[in-house]
Structure 1
């Protein structure tokens, strides 16, 4: 999504209709606005050529209170019409009749509130030089909203507070009467075109010799009728737009640029590209300036110190950088056992109850009288819950002043690896609970139990015999209703001490005779989990997408580690908190088999 840019101008109603609560405003004259980026000062200009401005989102957009869009109370009205003619952009806005908007409307009518700011996105810039000044001209842009603000920037836009004199009903004088009526009719067609009204609307007004003022009033009434409340069954869509000059938005762009310095393979987004080579001190200077703080004569260290103590910007910058680095390390961290479980989400921290349905009822032969009997399905239930795991790291002011990206990128990388390690250890501890027999299930028996048919009677090394027994145990598993179900062995889970032995039994070897053929070559995939505490125990598991077994879950909307940042919780600098909402459990025993291995 393109960044939202704002520029202030002056509310300029050509007339105010107190009864309709409407005003005509000039929202841009294209006047140049001085801005600054890392390349230095420049003048921003807006092209008001009709083909440069996309008005599709402005018509029907909100009139806001100083660009705030946090709640409905921030909406003061709506934009009814909008147009550009190459010299200026104008609009007809209507103010709400809500009691809290009434003081604003009174100030607009009395001329106290005159200034507006238009919010817009820019899709294409053209760079040039004018009298030695760098100029960026928006040649393709989209106005999004109009706001009332206290300070103007566009001197060409202003309120025309004089009352508009009512237009006389046109007559057709001798000589030039046809020309006069033709001008009015042209105005009626123009009003209808802007309002999106059809030919029937135009013909009705022309047939009764309506004036241009009557045409506008009729158009406003038609639009007001169209905009009445409509009951919709679709879900509302809320779109959040960030201001181009918003320090929080700038801080996130800077965070992305810092991450690109740590990870050169990252492709910078266009807004963040301007900060590709900026130091932390240079970023502090710009953010302090945006927030209205003086930076004259400040050293790099002093700017960083002031930014840390007066704004939350460095928390945002480093939080974004650390978050990206941490997630990349988290996703790259190896975890053998994780691929043997099924990932899901939980809505909250209450117990996750998993209901397992039994086998579908068998079909029965239809009797002589054609009666079809109803079937039932048995069910079983297992449960586990999400818990929160967290740690924090500190990035000192000295590291920020020194622009030492390597110091906190290493910390972030290790925190990402630590989050992945936390998950893997929790899964391993679950499998190895109760002296290697696994957690207790709802039948009050451990996961691996003789009654579950998924535990070798005595431990033995990996061999044709023991692998065959494991495969047979899974293939003959029975469901809740004591009928054979399909369980296909897929993975052989081993500790590092058994890796070589497992490879030997799974390898494809060109045998000279049939008796020497390895029946398990290519039928199982080896998974090595270095966190397994036993050097001899090994497991056979089914594909988690085929049958329930090990399951792990994240809090909905918080998949993986989440990063929070703030300046100076406990250190002189920025602290980063890493939070992981994660839980795991076994929801069925039928997809796992354990062998204690050779003593």
Structure 2
């Protein structure tokens, strides 16, 4: 007599996998010692759009979903995931749902170490980069979560044949729901005892025969950070690596320790592309198949260029007033005369009318620019020196362009300055702002210059009482100027320096004359030199693209700028001797 052996197995606790939405919850990290490392969850930053992979394979075919939520709970990091709607991943949905596959493992980058505990290193700050489904997790506590034990049915012994049929029926109904095929489709398959493989074949036939594409259920997921925010934060991180003194924002901190290669892989992964391969191959693909990677360097170069631009010396910027131009057409600045003197109102209470005289000067802005390249070898080699030097030169070049344009105006007409609206040069005897004969800087020549400025009259013929504030000289006169305006301790009234502490010295090496010097009023007091940028485009503007003729990143710097003298009364020149 043959003995009948009935095989039985225990039903596992139901998991949190929802087959219809393809979502599930899992414990993805704890503070247990794993591989000689203790990960402090309080210091774990979560990167944007964390991918769900299979066995840590950073490639498109192994990216099966995304983490959509996360929270800390009782010393554990809990993540909620949504699997891809790809029909070929149904096997994964089933294995996660029945507990056959339940292990989770995380991939993270350590940003800071904090000593050791019990022979293990402690990672006090780290960035979570990916989560993987794996049959053998390093931490036994990280796995797909089961339902609340208080609501779970008790485990029981059930014949395996019954279990297999019930599981097949559930999977067939899930297929019908996922592809909107209706209950009649699943009921027919269940009634004839179809297997899951037969049901999948029936689904494929049904979808193929449908005249229109099936309706897809899409649940909108709001991401706090879009591509622009990612580029801005990663760009700041690259800038901070080249400038360690820069105080990094919290949003950019997770990217600071990432190399150029790390950023390239991250950009590819965000686009669903494979991030595997040698460094030069990954970086080349990131340059040419994503827009984020070139823009990250554009953002960083823009920051570095701006920093160098602001630090570049430019004496005339101190004595000029900044404004904006709405477009590239001629910008006309109207100059009003000084306010009329108020007159006493007579007994009849009659007020008399006053007038304001007007004058005008016109100028327009123009565009200046250049294209240079950051080579692919420099990016592959992670050469921050080359990056910082290139970006600094861009900023310095923009500042030098502005400075030369302003100096060119000042020294036009053989040092007389630009021709004004009245037909005379900026510095002219008719304007009362040019020394009759050249002389070096001294108490006497400074006094004469101050007197000439103090006695300037406005459009209405009344004194405007201009007070000089700056003394502008070439490097050859710097020492002489310092002596003439220096603070001293006089022993007699005749030794008092009347200009001590009253004038601010400006030196510009771009001045071509070694003898000519200038006395200048505060631009806040009276019109003088004015410069303008295109509205919303202040200073140098940078844009980038992956190089075509040049192997690397091409950077274009553009400057929309113009300058002009609006009035001569706040400036005085002495040709020197």
TM-score in same-fold range (> 0.5): yes
Match of 1:404 among 376, 383, 407: 383
Q: Is contact 2:325-2:365 (8 Å) kept?
A: yes
Does 2:307 match 1:283?
no
Does 2:316 match 1:333?
no
Does 2:512 match 1:533?
yes
What is the CA–CA distance in structure 2 between the aligned matches of 1:471 and 1:509, rounded to whole Å?
21
What is the CA deviation profile of residues 444-495 of structure 1, one whole-angstrom value per residue up to 9, with x for unaligned ones? Answer: 1110010111000110111111111100000000000111112111111100
Equivalent in the alignment of 1:509: 488
Does 2:542 match 1:558?
no
What is the CA deviation profile of residues 347-403 of structure 1, one whole-angstrom value per residue up to 9, with x for unaligned ones? Answer: 111111110111212222323422111111111101111111111210111111111
Equivalent in the alignment of 1:458: 437
What is the CA deviation profile of residues 45-104 of structure 1, one whole-angstrom value per residue up to 9, with x for unaligned ones? Answer: 35699xxxxxxxxxxxxxxxxxxxxxxxxxxxxxxxxxxxxxxxxxxxxxxxxxxxxxxx
Q: Is contact 2:27-2:142 (8 Å) kept?
A: no
Cα offset, 1:546, TM superposition = 0.5
2:490 aligns to what SS in structure 1?
A: coil
What is the CA deviation profile of residues 427-460 of structure 1, one whole-angstrom value per residue up to 9, with x for unaligned ones? Answer: 1111111000000111011100101110001101
Equivalent in the alignment of 2:412: 433
Aligned alpha-carbon RMSD (Å)? 3.5
2:438 aligns to what SS in structure 1?
A: coil
Does 2:279 match 1:255?
no
What is the CA–CA distance in structure 1 between the aligned matches of 2:422 and 2:318, rounded to whole Å?
26
Cα offset, 1:571, TM superposition = 0.7
Classify 1:131/1:391 alpha carbon distance in 2 versus 1 (closer, same or farther; 3 Å).
Answer: same
2:386 aligns to what SS in structure 1?
A: helix
Equivalent in the alignment of 2:155: none
Q: Is contact 1:396-1:573 (8 Å) kept?
A: yes
What is the CA–CA distance in structure 1 between the aligned matches of 2:309 and 2:335, rounded to whole Å?
32
Equivalent in the alignment of 2:427: 448
What is the CA–CA distance in structure 2 between the aligned matches of 1:257 and 1:133, rounded to whole Å?
31
Instruction: Structure 2: give runs of 5+ residues left out of the alignment.
Output: 1-16, 29-48, 59-65, 74-125, 132-137, 145-174, 183-220
What is the CA–CA distance in structure 1 between the aligned matches of 2:181 and 2:536, rounded to whole Å?
51
Equivalent in the alignment of 2:251: 271
Q: Is contact 1:390-1:578 (8 Å) kept?
A: yes
1:435 aligns to what SS in structure 2?
A: coil
Equivalent in the alignment of 1:133: 142
Q: Map residues 137-148 of structure 1 onto 2, 5 A cutoff.
A: none
Classify 1:445/1:33 alpha carbon distance in 2 versus 1 (closer, same or farther; 3 Å).
Answer: farther
Equivalent in the alignment of 2:120: none
Match of 1:45 among 65, 69, 78: 69
Equivalent in the alignment of 2:576: 597
Cα offset, 1:318, TM superposition = 0.7
1:365 aligns to what SS in structure 2?
A: coil
Cα offset, 1:246, TM superposition = 4.5
Does 2:327 match 1:348?
yes
Cα offset, 1:568, TM superposition = 1.2
Classify 1:486/1:33 alpha carbon distance in 2 versus 1 (closer, same or farther; 3 Å).
Answer: farther
Classify 1:263/1:47 alpha carbon distance in 2 versus 1 (closer, same or farther; 3 Å).
Answer: closer
Equivalent in the alignment of 2:153: none
Classify 1:133/1:259 alpha carbon distance in 2 versus 1 (closer, same or farther; 3 Å).
Answer: farther
1:434 aligns to what SS in structure 2?
A: coil
What is the CA–CA distance in structure 1 between the aligned matches of 2:143 and 2:500, rounded to whole Å?
69
Cα offset, 1:418, TM superposition = 1.3
Classify 1:543/1:310 alpha carbon distance in 2 versus 1 (closer, same or farther; 3 Å).
Answer: same
What is the CA deviation profile of residues 96-121 of structure 1, one whole-angstrom value per residue up to 9, with x for unaligned ones? Answer: xxxxxxxxxxxxxxxxxxxxxxxxxx
Match of 1:384 among 363, 374, 381: 363
What is the CA–CA distance in structure 2 between the aligned matches of 1:243 and 1:329, rounded to whole Å?
35
Cα offset, 1:245, TM superposition = 6.9
Number of equivalent positions: 401
Does 2:290 match 1:311?
yes
Cα offset, 1:33, TM superposition = 11
Q: Name which of structure 1's ranges 332-341 and 506-515 shifts more when overlaid on structure 2.
A: 506-515
Q: Is contact 1:32-1:46 (8 Å) kept?
A: no
Q: Is contact 1:33-1:43 (8 Å) kept?
A: no
Match of 2:273 among 293, 296, 301: 293
Classify 1:314/1:482 alpha carbon distance in 2 versus 1 (closer, same or farther; 3 Å).
Answer: same
What is the CA deviation profile of residues 562-586 of structure 1, one whole-angstrom value per residue up to 9, with x for unaligned ones? Answer: 1111111431110011111111000
What is the CA–CA distance in structure 2 between the aligned matches of 1:547 and 1:498, rounded to whole Å?
26
What is the CA–CA distance in structure 2 between the aligned matches of 1:38 and 1:474, rounded to whole Å?
74
2:543 aligns to what SS in structure 1?
A: strand
Cα offset, 1:244, TM superposition = 5.2
What is the CA–CA distance in structure 1 between the aligned matches of 2:143 and 2:441, rounded to whole Å?
74
Q: Which of the two has higher C-alpha Rg?
A: 2
TM-score (norm 1): 0.62
Cα offset, 1:283, TM superposition = 1.4
Cα offset, 1:545, TM superposition = 0.4
What is the CA–CA distance in structure 1 between the aligned matches of 2:365 and 2:259, rounded to whole Å?
40
1:578 aligns to what SS in structure 2?
A: strand
Q: Is contact 1:538-1:595 (8 Å) kept?
A: yes
Match of 1:585 among 557, 564, 575: 564
Cα offset, 1:242, TM superposition = 9.2
Classify 1:274/1:369 alpha carbon distance in 2 versus 1 (closer, same or farther; 3 Å).
Answer: closer
Cα offset, 1:126, TM superposition = 13
Q: Map residues 220-231 of structure 1 onto 2, 5 A cutoff.
A: none
TM-score (norm 2): 0.64
Q: Name which of structure 1's ranges 399-408 and 465-474 shifts more when overlaid on structure 2.
A: 399-408
Classify 1:252/1:519 alpha carbon distance in 2 versus 1 (closer, same or farther; 3 Å).
Answer: closer
Classify 1:578/1:360 alpha carbon distance in 2 versus 1 (closer, same or farther; 3 Å).
Answer: same
Instruction: Structure 1: give runs of 5+ residues left out of the alignment.
Output: 1-8, 13-25, 50-124, 136-154, 163-240
